[in-house]
């Protein structure tokens, strides 16, 4: 970017291209490259110099393709391609920035030695690369690139590199170094904003898709576990029934024979077994048999276990079969999960805290009501506000998430109420028509 002599330019190019090797080895996991292919990286370094000295700069895209295909070890290796592009982009951006910084200084000094110009420019480039490398690893940005599942970041990299080398090509062709400094600054700023926006957008989309897949996998596993638990529970009920019949028969025999020792042993056994069956039983939630939807049942079962572990008194009622719902099941699981979690948090420190969960399904709609006792005043007018919470050290985003989901559906109604120190949240999902 700064005009220097031919010999100085050759030296600068040879050294600056070493920055490409340095960044690539720091960015890409070299253990992923087979041993027999690693020497090729040095060969491609010299090929890069050949392109710089004897070919048009746009041949670099053929170079990127060949290098990618040579080192590729799996189909759609986004990480490799992005690493190559980063390794080319960062030295180029560092060179542009160093030129922008040093050009006004050089312009004010006459008869400046080429060696001083090269040394100062390469030193500034190296500083920029070291800073980039530190941030890239310190902030774990490298992990984001390693987990890429999209071509978008690579396309952004190719686009940015194409624009930059085109800019530099025309600047060098017309030798408009100083005149276009301000243009380069504006261009780099705009490109930086565009690239950051696209990257954040892509990353958030990837994260959202990953979370959906993770949720789906977790719910699938949980539904399988629930099905097994249901079968075990039925077997347990059968065993419990037969066990008590046998115990009663033995008691009758002990009474008839007036066997004091046997009666004492049977009483102790009955006391122990009653306590055991009480701990493992889900009799309080026997209405779960009406919940045919495995996702809803899995969620409820998990929450009931948490309540039991925290000695929370919970009343559950469901007298009609629930199989399908008229909104996305994952959205329903999210709003139910948030609501029940909020209820658990609210009552677990109460001496006489209580939770009620009532599901009523009809041909027209599904009603889900979750109630919990409260000890603090809650202003219903503020409950949907961002960050609202009655709990210490809590973000209060759960209810906001419910509102966001509600906006997606015309057949979902959410209603809050407080009656007799019971906070209630009610979801009504219409099977026919719209509620709003």
User: What is the per-residue pLDDT for 339?
Assistant: 92
Please say whether the beta carbons of 337 and 344 come within 8 A: no
User: What is the per-residue pLDDT for 397?
Assistant: 39
Q: Where are the alpha helices (DSSP H) in 258-293?
A: 260-280
- From the list 35, 32, 183, 19, the residue with the least C-alpha distance to 86 is 19
**Measured CA distances, 400 to 384, 388, 395 (Å):** 6, 8, 10
Distance CA 32, CA 173 (A): 40
**CA 144 to chain CA centroid, nearest Å:** 11
pLDDT band at 146 (very low <50, low <70, confident <90, very high): low
Q: Where are the domains of the chain?
A: 6-179, 283-436
Task: Give the contacts of 181 (CB within 8 A, at least 6 positions apart).
Answer: 99, 100, 103, 104
User: What is the per-residue pLDDT for 125?
Assistant: 85
User: What is the per-residue pLDDT for 386?
Assistant: 41
* pLDDT for 128 beyond 80: yes
Predicted confidence (pLDDT) per residue in 200-215, tens digit: 776 677 667 766 666 6
User: What is the per-residue pLDDT for 395?
Assistant: 37
Task: Give the contacts of 135 (CB within 8 A, at least 6 positions apart).
Answer: 141
CATH topology of domain 283-436: Heat Shock Protein 90 (3.30.565)
Cα dihedral across residues 237, 238, 242, 243: positive or negative: negative
* pLDDT for 384 beyond 50: yes
Whats the size of the chain, residue-wise? 436
pLDDT band at 227 (very low <50, low <70, confident <90, very high): low
Q: Which helix (H) or strand (E) holds 296?
A: helix 294-309
pTM (two decimals): 0.45
**Measured CA distances, 104 to 91, 98, 119, 177, 180 (Å):** 21, 11, 17, 10, 12
User: What is the per-residue pLDDT for 82?
Assistant: 84
Query: Looking at residues 365-375, what average pLDDT do you find?
Result: 92
User: What is the per-residue pLDDT for 178?
Assistant: 52
Cα dihedral across residues 33, 37, 41, 44: positive or negative: negative
* pLDDT for 139 beyond 70: no
Predicted confidence (pLDDT) per residue in 265-321, tens digit: 767 666 656 655 554 445 556 788 788 888 888 888 888 888 888 888 899 999 889
Distance CA 100, CA 93 (A): 11
Share of the chain above pLDDT 70, in %: 66
- From the list 406, 388, 404, the residue with the least C-alpha distance to 396 is 388
Distance CA 42, CA 204 (A): 36
Of 104-113, 384-393, 410-419, which gets the smallest average pLDDT? 384-393
Please say whether the beta carbons of 329 and 211 come within 8 A: no
User: What is the per-residue pLDDT for 136?
Assistant: 76
Cα dihedral across residues 166, 41, 135, 128: positive or negative: negative
Query: Looking at residues 87-112, what average pLDDT do you find?
Result: 77
Query: Looking at residues 27-35, what average pLDDT do you find?
Result: 83
Strands 313-318 vs 354-361: parallel, antiparallel or unpaired = parallel
User: What is the per-residue pLDDT for 60?
Assistant: 87
If DSSP codes are grouped into helix, strand and coil, which group holds residue 157?
Answer: helix
Cα dihedral across residues 165, 167, 170, 173: positive or negative: negative
* pLDDT for 120 beyond 90: no
Q: What is the CA radius of gyration of the chain?
A: 34
- From the list 291, 388, 286, 380, the residue with the least C-alpha distance to 338 is 388
- Exposed, middle or buried by CB within 10 Å (0-12, 13-18, 19+), for 150? middle
Instruction: Please give the sequence-ordered ranges of beta strands (E in DSSP) within 271-389, or none if there are none.
Output: 313-318, 354-361, 365-373
Distance CA 419, CA 396 (A): 22
Task: Give the contacts of 331 (CB within 8 A, at least 6 positions apart).
Answer: 405, 408, 409
Please say whether the beta carbons of 90 and 132 come within 8 A: yes
The DSSP bridge partners found for residue 318 are 359
Count of H-run helices and E-run strands, the chain: 12, 5
Query: Looking at residues 372-389, what average pLDDT do you find?
Result: 66
Query: Looking at residues 398-411, what average pLDDT do you find?
Result: 80
Q: What is the largest CA-CA distance in the chain?
A: 122
Predicted confidence (pLDDT) per residue in 164-208, tens digit: 777 777 766 666 555 555 566 666 667 667 766 766 776 677 667
pLDDT band at 396 (very low <50, low <70, confident <90, very high): very low
* pLDDT for 61 beyond 90: no
* pLDDT for 342 beyond 80: yes
- From the list 229, 353, 315, the residue with the least C-alpha distance to 280 is 229
């Amino acid at each position: 970017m700064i005009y220097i002599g031919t010999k100085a330019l050759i030296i600068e190019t040879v050294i600056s291209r070493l920055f490409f090797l340095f960044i690539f080895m720091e960015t890409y996991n070299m253990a992923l490259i087979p041993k027999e292919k690693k020497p090729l990286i040095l060969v491609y370094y010299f090929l890069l110099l050949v392109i710089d000295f004897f070919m048009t700069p746009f041949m670099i895209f053929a170079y990127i393709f060949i290098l990618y295909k040579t080192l590729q070890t799996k189909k759609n290796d986004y990480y490799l391609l992005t690493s190559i592009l980063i390794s080319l982009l960062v030295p180029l951006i560092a060179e542009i920035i160093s030129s922008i910084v040093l050009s006004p200084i050089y312009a004010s000094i006459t008869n400046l030695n080429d060696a001083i110009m090269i040394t100062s420019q390469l030193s500034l480039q190296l500083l920029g690369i070291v800073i980039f490398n530190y941030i890239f690893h310190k902030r774990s940005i490298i992990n984001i690139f390693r987990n890429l599942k999209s071509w978008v970041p690579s396309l952004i990299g190719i686009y940015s590199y194409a624009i930059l080398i085109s800019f530099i090509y025309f600047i060098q062709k017309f030798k408009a170094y100083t005149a276009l400094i301000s243009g380069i600054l504006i261009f780099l700023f705009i490109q930086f904003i565009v690239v950051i926006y696209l990257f954040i957008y892509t990353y958030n989309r990837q994260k959202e898709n990953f979370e959906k897949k993770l949720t789906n996998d977790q719910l699938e596993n949980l539904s399988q576990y629930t099905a097994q638990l249901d079968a075990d529970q039925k077997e347990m009920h059968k065993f419990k029934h037969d066990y008590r019949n046998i115990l009663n028969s033995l008691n009758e025999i002990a009474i008839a024979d007036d066997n004091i020792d046997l009666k004492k042993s049977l009483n102790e056994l009955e006391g122990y077994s009653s306590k055991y069956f009480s701990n493992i039983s889900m009799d309080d939630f026997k209405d779960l048999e009406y919940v045919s939807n495995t996702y809803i049942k899995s969620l409820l079962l998990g929450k009931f276990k948490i309540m039991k572990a925290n000695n929370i008194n919970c009343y559950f009622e469901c007298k009609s079969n629930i199989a399908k719902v008229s909104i996305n099941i994952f959205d329903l699981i999210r709003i139910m999960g948030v609501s029940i979690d909020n209820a658990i948090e609210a009552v677990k420190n109460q001496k006489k805290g209580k939770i009620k969960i009532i599901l009523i399904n009809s041909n027209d709609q599904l009603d889900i009501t979750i109630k919990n006792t409260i000890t603090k005043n809650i202003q219903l007018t503020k409950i949907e506000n961002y960050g609202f919470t009655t709990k210490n050290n809590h973000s209060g985003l759960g209810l906001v998430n419910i509102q966001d989901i509600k906006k997606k559906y015309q057949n979902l109604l959410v209603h809050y109420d407080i009656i007799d120190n019971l906070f209630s949240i009610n979801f009504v999902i219409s099977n026919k028509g719209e509620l709003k």
